[in-house]
Amino acid sequence: MNRFLFRSVFFSIISTTAMILASHAVAQNSSEFSLLATPEVLNSEEGEVLQVFLPPSWHTVHKEWLDNRGVKEVVPADQTIINWREMLAFQVIDKVRMPPNAYLDQLKQALSQSCEFSHFRTLSGSVNSHYSEAVQISWCGQVAGAQWGEIVLTRIISGENTLYSLNKSWRTIPFRSVEAIGLPEDEIQFWLNQVNRSRLCDTRRNDC
């Protein structure tokens, strides 16, 4: 079976690619922050670092680097790359300069072509004086070639020459409307707050 069926529709459609990963874990109140950066930053110890928030007991099920991109995927302790129901995925796309909204428009187009039902909503993200950001939640009623649907909350941060994608995914039964699947607004807001705990900093500004 094709491995993409086990992973988030987001990373099946937007080709995984880039870097990485200085997976330095910093514990904070039983949660932790993992530090992700491009090889250039890791080698020079100067540049942008993505500090990603990981909930307690979530574990890494996949990470890879290829060309100028990298991905790290984590799931709750009782789930795996095969049977996951919830996933956090972080992608670093190096040597890309693109407005966050333009990237989300590409995602909309890809999901519209790959899902039997799709719907999108723009959300308010965190405010950052140094970087442009955009947030969107996407509903995919049934993933092409699979027997499930997905909901993906996506936060895009545009760095100096790198794009950062932070995603929370829910795997669901197939559905044909947003109302039918009924993801509560308070759960969306909770995970938006969690995703916004991650931050992009720059060692050259001494704010990491």
Summarised one tens digit per residue, pLDDT across range 45-59 is: 899 999 999 999 999
CB neighbours of 196 closer than 8 A, spacing ≥ 6?
125, 126, 155
List the domain boundaries for the chain: 3-205
Quickly count helices (H) and strands (E) in the chain. Answer: 5, 11
CATH topology of domain 3-205: Protein Transport Mog1p; Chain A (3.40.1000)
Q: With bands split at pLDDT 50, 70 and 90, how would you rate the model's confidence at 29?
A: very low
**186: pLDDT confidence band, cut at 50, 70 and 90?**
very high
How many whole angstroms separate alpha carbon 110 and alpha carbon 167?
16
With a pLDDT cut of 70, the percent of the chain lying above it is 84
pLDDT above 70 for 200: yes
Q: CA-CA distance, 142 to 127, in Å (whole number)?
A: 33
- Residue 140 near residue 113, CB atoms below 8 Å: no
Cα 165 to its chain centre, rounded Å, is 5
CA 78/CA 162 separation, integer angstroms:
33
Q: What is this structure's pTM?
A: 0.86
CB of 143 closer than 8 Å to CB of 9: yes
Give the mean pLDDT of 116-139. Answer: 89
The upper half-sphere exposure of residue 32, i.e. CA atoms within 13 Å in the direction of its Cβ, equals 14
Residues paired with residue 187 on neighbouring β-strands, in sequence order: none
Look at residue 38 and tell me whether its pLDDT is greater than 80.
yes
**DSSP string for 150-163:** EEEEEEEEE-SSEE
